[in-house]
Structure 1
Amino acid sequence: MPTFIKFNLEQQSIELPGTRTAGATGHYRHSAFQDGLIDHIREAPHVKTLYDMFENSVKKYGKKEFLGHRPYNRVTKKHDGYVWQTFEQIHKRVNDFGSGLMHLNQAILGHSQLNRWSLGIWSTNRPEWSISEISCNYNNLVSVPLYDTLGPDAVEYVINHAEIQMVVCSSNHIATLLQNSAKLPSLRAIISMDSLRDDPAMAIPGASSAPALLRAWGAEKGIKVYDFLEMEALGAAHPRKPSPPREEEVASLCYTSGTTGQPKGAQLTHKNFIAAVSTNVESIVLGPNDTMISFLPLAHIMGRYLDSLSMYAGSRIGYFRGDILTLLDDVVELKPTFFPAVPRLLNKIYAKLVAATIEAPGLVGALARKAVAAKMANLEAGKGIHHPLWDRLLFNKVKMALGGNVQVIVTGSAPIAKEVLNFLRIAFGCVVLEGYGSTESMGTAMLTLPEEFIPGHVGAPRCGCDVKLVDVPEMNYTSNDKPFPRGEICLRGPHIFTGYFKDEEKTKEALDSENWLHTGDIGFVDNRGCFTIIDRKKNIFKLAQGEYVAPEKIENVLSARCNLVAQLFVHGESLESTLVAIAIPEPETFVPFATAITGGSTSDVAVLCKDPKVIDAFLKELEKAGKAGSLRGFEFVKKVHLSMDMFSIDNGLLTPTLKVRRPQVKDHFADQIKVMYDDLRACTPAAKL
């Protein structure tokens, strides 16, 4: 089970003396590491690269289970339980697969560049994803994750921009790559994670098999097509010694998908990865008895950072089946101790638990309300998250929803409501951490402490990161604000990326001359040295009365506090004085809410979305959420349009990292936005004169 190192809750970070400059706070640093930032794993100083890290783990934990997955059973037509491979078994596969890659590159494709070339990896989380990445680390190659949900245009851009010669992918992406091969001049080989061997049980007399057709199609395009096991066999027949990287060399190009423009390739070095892992070793210690569920996309830095933590600790990593809708079934099967998540998933879990406990009818609801009140009182008094009576009667059963063994839940990527955080703490009787980071900071910059019982902030800087706040005068945020300094959050430390690949202009925008990363997020730091995110510098606009609005902040506040919302888009214009919104209701909570208003005449969501009474009631719920989130008057939404037209990657309204593409959503709902503003103008006193 994870263990935690205790720090001073009342002074979590300090402002280093003599570091203040005009227009900025001083440098804030973790109070226990005032003398210097941690940039390496102090208990294992020989671990300088990801190659060193895996070698270290194989030596320490060789015969222990490492990577697990649930194979599909064609007889039962269901997924079996988890099947595991040990550190030693994965080590052999890494050496074989890596040798196969190198032999293919040099002897078959005839390339003269032996190292530092880019390998694309394109699939959902699975053992072959990690084997591919570790093989890169063993042969001084650069891994380039391709988002599993990227559209063809973005995949084409990344492959060409990173000059990728080989792509390792799940079989469902092979056809896409071959179909677009004319636009991918650097691509010479595709390696399928799934078997391309013919299955006699699926054979049709006289017909060519699908694998054979794929290989023939590839030959026609001048692209070699192999499967994973073939590449391992090739490597076993032509073994090569590892070619370890240096710590300052780039380990991965992690492309960040913006809401506009092409993705940017963040250059992350081996030193960046090791520095990020070292921050965790100094505070939360995972061990060989821990198990983590891996479902946060490995194409995003947070998923890979967490996998690296588990690898170093000798922990088991169990991959989900690839379907987020069946994730909790995988969690129950795996029984993890460590559960990384994102706010949207936790909000769904929260909504289900609330419905089954404190909102339940009769005696169950009455007992649950009493139990929650008792545990909340203990938590707010700093007495912890356990209760001898109520845990035994109620919450030990609740814990089984996550398998029963979860000790740590960690969340990030977007804000989460205070009430959700605290409810999850007392419901699951475990540590719930909220963190802050980005691709450019290796996904880790700040984190709450395990014993923290005050929600609503993202904690203090980690032991390898300095933080300062820089004035944003156009938004009235300054380092001299009272009661607390406010400004743009800037980060510096050994985990910060080295720049964007082939993009000096964007690099200079992100990193200043002193190597401070300007995040674009606005925050304040309180008297305990804890930081709270309050706004966003980018995507701001000005209303007619001159007030600046950051719509993402408002969306986060409302979505976190209103469980009727699945997706939300807040919009304003410089010629209008008010905000409007497009809301996609969450069917599970919206239907009972709306039918209670309409008297149960229908449960058709599309019909309910058009009912004026339902729309008015929904708007009032958003108003309640806005008040609970302390929004200012001009930040309240005055009109809402309810739609079942979900924002998705397929329709171009979401980025692959599930961020809203604001210009595209505005255009998509242009008619509805116009109608809302016409209605608002018709209701103003001036319009009636």
Structure 2
Amino acid sequence: MSLDLDTLSFILLGSISTVALLSIRNAKGPDVHPLLLNSQADPSRLRHAGETAIYRSRMHPNGSPLLMTMDRNIRTLHDLFENGGIKSQAQAKYLGNFNGQTYEWQTYDTVYKRVQDFRSGLAAFAELNSKTNDSSSFVGIFAKSCPETMIAEQAANSHSYVTIPITANARTTLLSHILESTSLTTVVVDKETLPILLSVANGTSVKYVIVNGKAKDTDLKLAKEKGIELEDFENIEALGSSKPVEKVVPGPDDISSIYFTKTKTGKKAGVILKHKNVLANIAAYIAIMPPNQKVTSADRLLQSYAPGNALNRVLIGMMTYVGGSIAFGAEIADDEEVADITSLQKCAQEAKPTIVASTALPMKQIKERVESQYGNSFLYKRGYERKKNLLLSNGRLVVDNRYDMLVFRDIRQKIFGGSLKVVFLEDYGDIGDLSMFVRVVLGAQAVPTYNRTEAAGTITASMFYDYSANGSSRGAAIPCNEVKLIDLPDEGYLATDYPNPRGEICVRGSNVFSGYWNDPSATEDVLDGDKWFMTGDIGAWQPNGTLELIGRKK
């Protein structure tokens, strides 16, 4: 029997792909086969005028369905919580809170019980309706990231309520805008954010406030004057424990959360994210981890994102699914110009995380601090150049050569506790040689990402082992979405630009939002009839299928 050319080509391509996926294991070989680095995405064969080809992850190429979940039995965030570490790691550490000296840990079993109690207590305390997908089901979370904010969010999601996460350092103008836009009646706060909420509560719909921590007498008095019913977080749990309520399980198309972010026109609007959107991004993060970097129950995430950042929920979901642990206490707000890296390092030294995810800001400051202390030493400079050469020339990341023993291991121990494996970096600009610093000095894989709230977190992520990528590269599309660029002739960016097609970045997929809350005009500005989200960001395709960020539309 003879084989035609198309069949032979298909078999050959399959063989090459299989070989390329195998990392070379010997000490002198690169960490990954060069063929994988040279072709990181799958572009469509056809494209429309004024647009580039549609680029997809090679895990879910053009013609195949986009990734939606990691398990067919998991369709919502409630399913993920019920079927993740709760089942496999019941007695293992799950959520840790830093008390200034050490971490206080709660097990999966403990957290599961607290979620059930808080869910029932919330249902009994506040006048909320499940599964309405409107303001009657909204629960605001105006607080810092901690075990209690995660418990409140999961309790709300498990009862088909909709959470409105608000960053603790949000300006009062934004807070007032959110309260007015959503008609929030119920808000979970820290004792530190309670006075801020009360200061803007006049004339709003706020009626029920749950406080994590002991409220001051002055705040209790002010709440009473404003007709707001105030209750402690612990009391809500106790109420739920004494009066359990049957849970109301959400569906994939139910709204999980509404995140307020700046649109491309500059105004603040609420991004509607359904359970299926967030779940798709969680599944994508799990999928892009290579076999020898897979996240497991042994991993620990140092949580530095605020509740108002959508990626916060994605990373918590990833760790929850695999049964890993999450260390809180190192939160850094998205809009901070100077990060408190002393506090960050103190948390890290105690938590000893294997995974860190943050904006590039704190990592840049850590790099500056390390270079100011060690940069002039012969061992540091010589070791840096030698290890950098191994990365660029040999494609190898090493953590146990003589320079690691002499200088870098001590730095790793002092900064992140010595167990770090992966750093996810988020930044809209050129991060320069920050990824190289992470790999050489911290001995961890650096994965720059391109994130938008409207995509439930991440759109593209750099490939592990892509050591020669420039500081503006953000990798290929993740498996749950597809990306294209469209012409911006007024700004001189065209899909026909050679050798790098350029234009406005557009994304479509399982993770992309369905619109802005109560703002159809803003939605129409960014979502076309085919569900493409036009980000307002400008990018360029590299020959290997990775996306380079150029800037923002004027």
TM over 0.5: yes
User: SS of the counterpart of 1:481?
Assistant: coil
Judged with a 3 Å threshold, the aligned counterparts in structure 2 of structure 1 residues 251 and 454 are, in CA distance, closer, same or farther, namely same
> C-alpha distance in 2, partners of 1:446/1:340?
15
**Equivalent residue for 1:152, pick from 172, 186, 189:** 172
| Residue 189, structure 1, aligned to residue 203, structure 2 | no
Q: Is 1:255 aligned to 2:255, yes or no?
A: no
1:513-528 equivalent positions in 2, closer than 5 A? 513-528=529-544
Matched, 1:388 2:401: yes
Alignment map for 1:91-490 (pairs within 5 Å): 91-106=112-127, 116=133, 117-184=137-204, 186-196=205-215, 210-211=216-217, 213-257=218-262, 262-284=267-289, 285-320=294-329, 325=340, 326-358=343-375, 360=376, 365-386=377-398, 388-400=401-413, 401-456=415-470, 457-490=473-506
Larger CA deviation: 303-312 vs 323-332: 323-332
Structure-2 residue corresponding to 1:664: none
Query: How has the CA–CA distance of structure 1 residues 92 and 218 changed in structure 2, closer, same or farther, with 3 Å as cutoff?
Result: same
1:375–1:311 Cα change, 3 Å: same
1:22 aligns with 2:49: yes
Structure 2 counterpart of 1:390, one-letter code: Y
Identity of aligned residues (%): 26
Shift of residue 416, structure 1, vs aligned partner: 4.1
Q: 1 CA distance for matches of 2:264 and 2:55?
A: 31
Structure 1, 414-423 or 489-498: larger mean CA deviation:
414-423
Displacement of 1:315: 1.0
Match of 1:628 in 2: none
| 2:43 and 2:56 in contact (8 A); partners too | yes
Q: 2 CA distance for matches of 1:69 and 1:5?
A: 37
Residue ranges of structure 1 left out of the alignment (5+ in a row): 72-78, 197-209, 541-689
Change (3 A) 1:112 1:534: closer
What per-residue deviation string (whole Å, max 9, x for no partner) do you get for residues 649-669 of structure 1?
Answer: xxxxxxxxxxxxxxxxxxxxx
After TM superposition, the score normalised by the length of structure 2 is: 0.87
CA RMSD after TM alignment: 2.0
Distance between the aligned counterparts of 1:352 and 1:389, measured in 2?
Answer: 23
SS at match of 2:106: strand
Structure 2 CA distance for partners of 1:183 and 1:152, relative to 1, 3 Å: farther
In the alignment, structure 2 segments of 5+ residues that lack a partner are: 1-22, 24-30, 333-338
Query: How far is 1:260 from its partner?
Result: 7.4
Cα distance in 1, alignment partners of residues 219 and 407 from structure 2: 55
Secondary structure of 1:9 counterpart: helix
Amino acid at match of 2:58: S
For residues 129 and 112 of structure 1, the distance between their equivalents in structure 2, rounded to whole angstroms, comes to 20
Q: Contact 1:168 / 1:191 at 8 angstroms: preserved in 2? A: yes
Amino acid at match of 1:330: C
Q: How far apart are residue 419 of structure 1 and its match?
A: 1.9
Corresponding residue to 1:9 among 20, 31, 37: 37
Give the secondary-structure state (helix, strand or coil) at the position aligned to 1:241: coil
For 2:452 and 2:394, locate their aligned partners in 1 and report how far apart those are by CA, in whole Å: 31
1:321 Cα deviation from its structure 2 partner: 5.5
Residue of structure 1 in register with 2:66 after alignment: 38
Distance 1:485 1:303 in 2: 32
**Paired residue for 1:90?**
111
Structure 1's 264 and 252: CA in aligned 2 closer, same or farther, altered over 3 A? same
TM-score by length of 1: 0.70
Cα 1:162–1:86 shift into 2, 3 Å = same
Q: Which amino acid aligns with 2:141?
A: I
Q: Over alpha carbons, which structure has the higher Rg?
A: 1
SS in 2 for 1:498: coil
1:28 is displaced (CA, Å) by 0.9
Judge conservation of contact 1:247–1:269 (CA < 8 Å) in 2. yes
1:673 alignment partner in structure 2: none
* Distance (Å, rounded) in 2 between the aligned partners of 1:37 and 1:412: 27
Deviates more, 1:338-347 or 1:127-136: 338-347
| Inter-partner Cα distance in structure 2 for 1:354 and 1:21 | 48
Letter in 2 for 1:494: S
Shift of 1:61: 1.8
| Distance (Å, rounded) in 1 between the aligned partners of 2:142 and 2:116 | 20
Which AA in structure 2 matches 1:402?
F
- AA matched with 2:369: K
The 1:292/1:492 distance shift into structure 2, 3 A limit, reads same
The 1:121/1:349 distance shift into structure 2, 3 A limit, reads same
Matched AA of 2:158: Y
CA displacement, residues 220-252 of structure 1 (integer Å, 9 cap, x when unaligned): 322100010111111112111211111001100
The residue type paired with residue 391 of structure 1 is D
2:474 touches 2:548 (CA, 8 Å); kept in 1?
A: yes
Kept in 2: contact 1:13–1:461 (CA 8 A): yes
Identify the range of structure 1 (248-257 vs 383-392) with the bigger mean alpha-carbon deviation: 383-392
1:423, CA displacement in angstroms?
Answer: 2.1
Of the candidates 69, 87, 111, which is equivalent to residue 59 of structure 1? 87
Q: Give secondary structure in 1 for the equivalent of 2:36.
A: coil
Is contact 1:431–1:451 with CA below 8 Å preserved after alignment?
Answer: yes
- Which residue identity does 2:56 align to in structure 1? R
Contact 1:115-1:139 at 8 Å conserved across structures: no
Higher relative contact order (CA 8 A, sep 6+): 2
Higher alpha-carbon deviation: 84-93 or 297-306: 297-306
